[in-house]
Chains A and B, each alone.
Chain A
Amino acid sequence: MRVLLFGLIAEKAGTDRLEMQAGSLDELRGMLAQRIQGLEALSHAIAVDRLIMHDDLPLTGDEEIAVLPPFAGG
């Protein structure tokens, strides 16, 4: 699945896009924590198909995932 990274998170990861395979959102959270050093200490939210998700959910692989640092619009 396609994982989009933004702002500070993209900067820490050294890329704005990752390709990952995970069967659930919690599994993906674990993989992201391994891939992006210090991610757990950074305030962030995860969006699945452009909606922020707090709980676990199964993933099929077709979703668009995004890792979002704090918002700063306005």
Chain B
Amino acid sequence: MNASKPHKVKDIFVEGAIDPAFVGTSLAKHASRTDIGAHEIFLGQVRADKVDDRAVTAIEYTAYREMALERMTAIREEAFGKWPGMTCLHVYHSLGTIKAGDLCFMVFASAPHRRDARDVVAYVVDRIKAELPIFGREVVEGGGYVWKTNT
């Protein structure tokens, strides 16, 4: 990829949880890129938070897809602008009902050196949490739900 070339709008959304095996498959696809020296992967897992002493059993994710993908394209372009040495960046976010313990979010960056990969993942994760219109309803054990808010 090239920082000066506009990136086309990529879909980041997947229906259902992210399979841990997919993480391994994604990693294996980079073996031919021998200019890469470091991968950094952030994985978000649905946590069984307590709501009034009752455990969260799942999160139901929905999104304003068109806006989320436009924001993601802008964030991706800014990230390549800030870290021109980065080799590639892959982002996936789940929609639908994701059970506690399952993976719902993956940000995967590869670069020649570890510092760029690490910094870009931290930056992109924070920007996504703050700027992408993704909504989550926490389903609570025994019935009911609460709307989740990123802080």
Q: Which of A's residues lie within 8 Å of B, judged by CB?
A: 4, 6-8, 43, 47, 50, 66, 68-74
Q: Which residues of A contact B67 (CB under 8 A)?
A: 47, 50, 66
Tell whether, in the assembled complex, residue A72 and residue B70 are in contact, meaning their CB atoms are under 8 Å apart.
no
A6-B133, A7-B135, A50-B70 are contacts. A72–B148 as well, Cβ < 8 Å? Answer: yes
A6-B135, A7-B135 are contacts. A74–B64 as well, Cβ < 8 Å? Answer: no
Q: Which residues of B contact A74 (CB under 8 A)?
A: 44, 93, 104-105, 125, 128-129, 134, 150
Tell whether, in the assembled complex, residue A72 and residue B149 are in contact, meaning their CB atoms are under 8 Å apart.
yes
Partner of B150, one of A8, A47, A71: A71
A7-B147, A8-B147 are contacts. A71–B135 as well, Cβ < 8 Å? Answer: yes
Q: Which residues of A contact B68 (CB under 8 A)?
A: 73
Partner of B147, one of A4, A50, A72: A72
The residue in chain B whose Cβ has the minimal distance to the Cβ of A68 is B133
Q: Which residues of B contact A7 (CB under 8 A)?
A: 62, 135, 137, 147
Interface size on B (CB < 8 Å)? Answer: 29
Question: Does B38 touch A at the CB level, under 8 Å?
Answer: no
Question: Closest CB-CB distance, A54 to chain B, in whole Å?
Answer: 15
Tell whether, in the assembled complex, residue A72 and residue B135 are in contact, meaning their CB atoms are under 8 Å apart.
yes
The residue in chain A whose Cβ has the minimal distance to the Cβ of B104 is A74
Tell whether, in the assembled complex, residue B133 and residue A71 are in contact, meaning their CB atoms are under 8 Å apart.
yes
Question: For window 102-142 of chain B, which residues contact chain A by CB distance below 8 Å?
Answer: 104-105, 125, 128-137
- List 25 contacting pairs A-B, 8 Å CB cutoff, sorted by A: A6-B62, A6-B133, A7-B135, A7-B137, A7-B147, A8-B135, A47-B67, A47-B133, A50-B70, A66-B64, A69-B147, A70-B147, A70-B150, A71-B130, A71-B132, A71-B134, A71-B135, A71-B150, A72-B59, A72-B149, A73-B63, A73-B93, A73-B134, A74-B93, A74-B128
